[in-house]
Structure 1
Amino acid sequence: MHLLQPKPIIVTLEIAPSDMAVFNRLREAHFPGHANYLQAHVTLFHKLPGMESSIPEVLACNSRRPSFSLLVDGIVNFGTGIAYTLNSPELQELHAGLQAAFDPWLVRQDRQPLRPHITIQNKVTAFKAAQLHAQLKQAFVPFSIMATGFATWAYLRGPWKALDRFMFTE
C-alpha cells in the first residue's frame, strides 16, 4: 500500500534491523532524551511532496534490486553532535538515479551530493560532542552494514509517521 498524504515526505534507506540495533543503542545512550523521538536512520531525501503518486512508483521500481552493503568508515563530530559516516559506491549511484527521477520536486538540500551518515548524538554542547567523539574513535574499526530497502515518512514537526516500506528483492 502506498499512502499519499498532504504533508511532505522523507525518504530513508532501510538497514538490516540487527545492524541498526547498534546505532539505536548509541542514540538512546547519547542523544538528549527530550529531542530523541526517532530511531537511528539514513536520510536520502528530506522533503518530497506527499501527494505526488510517482514518488512511491519510483521507489517501488528501484527496490527491485538486491540488498547491498555499506561501509561504516568513520565517526564525525559536526559541532553539536556525532554521526557515523557511510561509504558505498552502489548507494551513490542509486541516489543519483533517484535524484534524477525526483528532480522536479527537489529542495536545495536534496540536490546536494549525498553524504550518508547515521546520527547518534545531536543538540548537545560542543564540549559533550568532542568528548563522545574522542571516546568512540578510540575503539573504532570500520565495519559493514546491509541496506535492505527504502522507507517513507510523514514529517510531523518533530516525530515522523511511518508511511511505506519498499524492501529490496533479489
Structure 2
Amino acid sequence: MSRPDATPDPLILTLALDEPTFALFDGLRRRHFPAALNRIPAHVTLFHHVPGALEAGVRETLAALARAQAPPEVAVTGLRFLGRGVAYMLESEALSDVRGRLARAFADHLTEQDRQGWRPHVTVQNKVKPEAARALQAELERRFAPFRFTAPGLLLWRYLGGPWEERARFGFGEFS
C-alpha cells in the first residue's frame, strides 16, 4: 500500500523474539493494551521509519548482516513507567552493536527519532490513564524476575497508517 503521492509507506525494523518470549509479551500486551488501539503484536523496535522506497536495499543489508551475526542474547532487566503505559526494559551489548551497524548503514535516511539514543524495550501497555499504568507496573514488578532470551532474527514491516504488514524475516547466523 502506498500514500496518494505514490511514495511507498515507510518500513519498520524490529527484533524477532523467540516463541516463549513472544508469547509472554504478546499475551501481556493483549491483556493490558487498549483493545481498540492494539493493532500490532508485541515487538522491540530497532528503527521506526526507514523510507519504503529503499526496501530492496534494506533487505540486502539486513540479509547480509543477519547471516554474519550470531543470535544475540538479550536480558530482560525490569519495568519502566511510560507515563501512560508500561514497558519491559532490555539490555544486550550484541543487539546494541547490531543496531549501531544498521544505524551507520542507514544514516542518510534515518528520522530524528531513529537518530536519538536507543533504549530497547517491549511496551505491554500504552495510552491509558497514568493511575492505571502505575497500578499495572506495581503488579508486574511484584512478579518480575529478570530473565534472558536469545533473539532469532530481525523482522521488516511496512507501516500502513496503524497496522503493520510483515515484509520479511532475517534469521541470525549462517544456518538460521
Q: TM-score range by the shorter chain?
A: over 0.9
RMSD: 1.1
Give percent identity, aligned residues only. Answer: 42
Cα shift readout 1:87-108 (whole Å, capped 9, x = no counterpart) = 0011111111100000010000
Q: 1:58 maps to what in 2?
A: 61
Counterparts of residues 94-133 of structure 1 (less than 5 Å): 94-133=98-137
TM-aligned CA deviation for residue 60 of structure 1: 0.6
Query: Which residues of structure 2 form unaligned runs of 5+?
Result: 1-6
For 1:150 and 1:116, how far apart are their aligned partners in 2? Answer: 14
For residue 62 of structure 1, what is the amino acid of its counterpart? Answer: L
For 2:72 and 2:49, how far apart are their aligned partners in 1? Answer: 25
For 1:79 and 1:11, how far apart are their aligned partners in 2? Answer: 25
Counterparts of residues 13-162 of structure 1 (less than 5 Å): 13-52=15-54, 53-64=56-67, 65-162=69-166
Higher alpha-carbon deviation: 50-59 or 92-101: 50-59
Aligned 8 A contact 1:19 1:146 in 2? no
Q: 1:9 maps to what in 2?
A: 11
SS in 2 for 1:43: strand
For 2:9 and 2:31, how far apart are their aligned partners in 1? Answer: 31
TM-score by length of 1: 0.94
TM-score by length of 2: 0.91
For 1:168 and 1:95, how far apart are their aligned partners in 2? Answer: 13
For residue 50 of structure 2, what is the amino acid of its counterpart? Answer: L
Query: Which residues of structure 1 form unaligned runs of 5+?
Result: none
For 1:87 and 1:121, how far apart are their aligned partners in 2? Answer: 20
SS in 2 for 1:39: coil
TM-aligned CA deviation for residue 113 of structure 1: 2.0
What is the aligned residue count? 166
For 2:19 and 2:106, how far apart are their aligned partners in 1? Answer: 27
